[in-house]
Amino acid sequence: MKNLILYALAIAPLFVSGAISADLEISTHCSCDENTNKVKYRTLEVNGVNIAYREAGNPENQTIVLLHGFPTSSHQYRKVLNQLSDEFHMIAPDYPAFGNSDFPDSDKFEYTFDNLASTIDAFLEKKNITSYALMIQDYGAPIGFRIATAHPERVMAIINQNGNAYEEGLGAAWKDTKSMWANRNKQTEEALLHAFSIEGLKWQYTHGTRNPENIDPDTWNLDYLKMSRPNAHAVNLDLFYDYRNNIKLYPKWQQYLRDNQPPLLIVWGKNDAFFPESGAEAFKKDVKEIDYNIYDTGHFALEEDADKIIPKMRIFMRKLKL
């Protein structure tokens, strides 16, 4: 009891000065709903395929649909989900054969970007999500632009982190893939198998970063686990090959941008070997007003610069309310 009295006497001046009362005021005025804001890990059946997805935030708030890239999943948006769920409703699906979604056999599911996009579009329909901002990265761009061109009235804005829509945005790392586009055979396929190795996956996360020690090894180790499943290499080679059809749609996506002028936030890692800064610059040809931000990092810019990108996202989304 004596120690308790002494402690109370010691902290009393802090209450008088406001040092503790200020902290109490902050916590008292927090409008956060911990249960609503907490990330939920759910699944939804879409045309016979269970789509896994992460969801956070109040569905009555503005929605951001987060579309992931290769070789990852909704896991790439974990920081965004955790930090922005206090103000926005966010939903991040895993494509079929990615993350925790079902991995149907290729004789039951056609692994093309057309089909991935139609599946995610149907997923959003089933969730009754009909007004949203799209966040796109890597594979998220061809999937997102297909959805946007199908439903331009639903897409309130685009947040673009290394999501390409221009031929000048295809970097040097596409060399081996372009060889397969020209002539798909055993030799050109084998030249791409390194992309599924632990070393190749690690390279995708660490190449172009300021410091590889900033990047969580769990990222490429989780991807390696998924890429090691039976038939995963074959399915992803099919998607590599189908990527050539995305380029054929670039003019359509560019026309969509010119016609609709969606609010556009660019948060781009300039050292991306697949989609260098020239890909970000190209959007200036078609979109009149861009919140344009370039970071000295690589393909997965959120891994190294989330502390800069996520506040940009918050400010950008707030402006949509005005």
Count other Cβ atoms within 10 Å, centred on residue 305. 22
- 235 within 8 A of 97, measured Cβ to Cβ: yes
Q: Considering Cα of 220, then 225, then 228, then 232, what sign does the dihedral take?
A: negative
For residues 124 and 81, what is the distance between their CA atoms, to the nearest angstrom?
18
Catalytic residue set = 299
Which residue from 185, 181, 164 is spatially nearest to 283, judged by alpha carbons?
164
In sequence order, the 6+-apart residues with CB closer than 8 A to the CB of 34 are none
At 166, give phi and psi (nearest 5°): -140, 145
- 262 within 8 A of 229, measured Cβ to Cβ: no
| Sequence letter at residue 53 | Y
Which residue from 120, 305, 155 is spatially nearest to 215, judged by alpha carbons?
305
Which residue from 227, 287, 230 is spatially nearest to 259, judged by alpha carbons?
287
H helices of 207-272, in order, are: 218-227, 232-248, 250-260
Strand partners, 42: 53
